[in-house]
Amino acid sequence: MPHILIVEDEAAIADTLVYALQAEGFATCWLSLGGAALERLAGEPFDLVILDVGLPDIGGFEVCKRLRRFSEVPLIFLTARSEEVDRVVGLEIGADDYVVKPFSPREVAARVKAILKRTAPRPLAGEGRPPAAATLRIDGQRYQAHYHDQLLNLTRHEFRLLQTLHGQPERVFSREQLLDALGVAAAAGYERSIDSHIKSLRAKLRQVAASAEPIQTHRGLGYSYNPER
């Protein structure tokens, strides 16, 4: 039974989420403060976090930043703000989705199920093929990537992007396709966040092999992985 942590200071909203999620078979835990949530997450595993942006002690964005220092648990933001910049910032700091209040609790439950399904480890076509394996090895079960025999310190989003690109070398993936690999609906308008994750991923690859450039940019199209570069 997936275990969901709800971090929301408005009891009425939290109650509706608890009811909707439990009706779908999820176990839930509700906390009203960001600091308490970080302490709980540091000591107890959860399958997904639903996090309000406007918490009274620590803002939701700051909670997410601190959480990503030690956990890659999937996360959905709840907020009363609908500006695009807030949605983009939320994804860039490590969120998986962004729900604007007022919302349908059933819709949130459906998004939770979709994210858990999409983020579950699964093998990709071409994983472990000999040409790419010489420089990059992907372990989809352990969420580990070794580049030139060095373990990369990747976020979950960075790992998923690298796994997707490496799975089909030289195939050009659009930003929409890469968003889908992260478990984010392409219609949500978060294409710009892919560029940010790719930039960070490239920097980590260069730390191991400064002259290599395996992730190729195809202007107007997207990105590909070339094991020979």
pTM equals: 0.61
> At 221, is the pLDDT very low, low, confident or very high (cuts 50, 70, 90)?
confident
Token duo for residue 108: 């949130």
How far is the C-alpha of 190 from the C-alpha of 167, rounded, in Å? 23
Comparing 4-8, 92-96, 102-106, 203-207, the range with the smallest average pLDDT is 92-96
pLDDT at 129 over 70: no
Q: Which of 95-109, 137-151, 175-189 holds the top average pLDDT?
A: 95-109
Neighbours of 192 (CB within 10 A): 12
3-class secondary structure, 2:
coil
pLDDT for the residue 133:
42
pLDDT at 137 over 50: yes
pLDDT for the residue 128:
44
Structural domains of the chain in order of their starting residue, each with its CATH number = 3-119 (3.40.50.2300), 130-225 (1.10.10.10)
How far is the C-alpha of 180 from the C-alpha of 199, rounded, in Å? 18
Strands 97-100 and 136-139, bridge-based pairing? unpaired
- Name which residue leads in pLDDT, 19 or 177: 19
Mean pLDDT of 97-110: 88
Q: What residues does 97 pair with on adjacent strands?
A: 76
Strands 144-147 and 150-151, bridge-based pairing? antiparallel
Residue 62: exposure state from Cβ atoms within 10 A (0-12, 13-18, ≥19): middle
Over pLDDT 70: what percentage of the chain? 86
**Residue whose entry in the numeric block shows the structure tokens 């949605």:** 87
pLDDT for the residue 126:
45
Neighbours of 140 (CB within 10 A): 17
